[in-house]
Structure 1
């Protein structure tokens, strides 16, 4: 198939493009930076420089590519991580999730594309009540932290607009990414002991290795039906379990512990909620309906062997 990957030079796009090419698809991939076109070409794609917020440019690029499927992987996380001012940190990505999605859907319809697969997220978005693991049928958090309200609205826009479009609209809710290009900043924080366990560390997180996120995306491109899917591994786990394991996996000292009141003062409400009240996500729908299985079924092995891109990691994964 002809596949148009918007945001092909991102952390996930760089893992996705070669998988699509290896399966015989003709891939056009976009980047905002002319300096990244060579990398995309080396991965086997036709590279196009385009700003995802320029509707005319997006429409022209899609029309020239004539894709059967469009994959929306555009993000814009710049600068240092800023969880206290989450919406400000995610402002560019939120624009791409709203205006960028509108442009791609309009271009898809104008060019006759049959399917759009769009990136979303599952994690802090889950309601902080009820059981520890949520499915796609559970409603999102009705009261996100104030610094995350705009980001939640942008995610909800993607999840409404794409499945409602007059084509096959698929939304993939990826869990917390790790792997080459995705987890270096977190590992750096852990080694510097700047990522403590807050309170009891009862907040549940779901992870997904970048390579597994890419294979799930390929599955959605090739055989997915309209709808929303959680793309996570098989092992949702509380912070009190995965954070010490990650520290040990990278040779760092055990994480410190911080009381809730002090963490709220030091890092803000977003961190406290995520660390203490988060809910994980189930991947059963994706496994059933996309016929997909993560190679890294648990972060336990993934953190040990999948943080770097080398032969040992591939051997460990099998």
Structure 2
């Protein structure tokens, strides 16, 4: 099939393009940077320079490419994300998830693109009540941390638009916390740097449950969504949700950092904000059973334990 990928040089996209090519698909790979097109050519794709916020440019790109599938992986998350003011840090990404998604869906409907796959996120999406592990059918959070309301609204807009546009078989991939090459949990990545400086503590007992997704598995799930699976929403996470108090010390040990400090919730909130305090103490993990059954996807990194151990050897 012919696949148009946005965000093709991002953390997921740069792993996704080679996997699609290897699977025999023809790939039109979109980037916002002319300087990155050579890299896409080397990966076996046809590169284009595209700003998905430009409505006319998106329409023209889809008209020219006439893909069978569009995969929307565009984000703008590079840089030093403090997450004290989430909506500020995610402002451009929120636009890509709203206006960018709508531009692509409108063009897809006009030019007969039947299948549409989009990147979402589950880490702080589910309601912070009930059991520790959520399925796609569980309710979402209706009380986001102050300063993150726009970000949650943008995610919900994307999911609603992708799964309800007439004529489009929309698939939403709710990724867990990314780690691996090109992410902030990788050698040289921001979160590992904070860990080595002992500036990434266990807050308030660390009871918040996290689900992780290795970046290669994130890309593999998108390939699976191109090739099969019913329209809908899928959690793309590994097999082992775990509380912060368990996985953070394990990560520190794996990469040779000192054991993280522990701080009370009030101090964590004071230092890093309410968003981080909730992520440390209240969030829920997710089940990947639906993705395994309906997409036929199985994570290569079934547990973050193996993936973290590899980070320590790299």
Residue 20 of structure 2: aligned partner:
20
Residue 180 of structure 2: aligned partner:
179
Unaligned runs of 5+ in 1: 314-318
1:143-198 C-alpha deviation (Å, 9 max, x unpaired): 01111100000000011110111211100000000000012211111111110000
Alignment match of 2:304 (pick from 285, 292, 299): 299
Distance in 1 between the 2:283 and 2:19 partners? 32
Distance in 2 between the 1:167 and 1:80 partners? 36
Alignment match of 1:224 (pick from 224, 229, 245): 229
SS at match of 2:235: strand
Distance in 1 between the 2:269 and 2:177 partners? 22
Distance in 1 between the 2:129 and 2:235 partners? 18
Distance in 2 between the 1:57 and 1:278 partners? 39
CA contact (8 A) 1:202 1:275 kept: yes
Structure 2 residue 288 is matched with structure 1 residue 265 = no
Distance in 2 between the 1:160 and 1:44 partners? 33
Deviation at residue 288 of structure 1 after TM alignment: 0.5
Distance in 2 between the 1:4 and 1:111 partners? 13
CA contact (8 A) 1:201 1:239 kept: yes
Deviation at residue 224 of structure 1 after TM alignment: 2.0
Residue 316 of structure 1: aligned partner:
none
Residue 168 of structure 1: aligned partner:
169
CA contact (8 A) 1:30 1:48 kept: yes
CA contact (8 A) 2:37 2:47 kept: yes
More displaced stretch, 74-83 vs 192-201: 74-83
Q: How many residues align?
A: 309
Distance in 2 between the 1:3 and 1:79 partners? 29
Distance in 2 between the 1:201 and 1:78 partners? 26
Q: CA RMSD in A?
A: 1.1
Residue 249 of structure 1: aligned partner:
254
TM-score normalised according to structure 2 size: 0.97
Deviation at residue 78 of structure 1 after TM alignment: 4.2
Residues 39-188 of structure 1 correspond to what in structure 2 (within 5 A)?
39-165=39-165, 166-182=167-183, 183=185, 184-188=189-193
TM-score normalised according to structure 1 size: 0.95
CA contact (8 A) 1:71 1:118 kept: yes
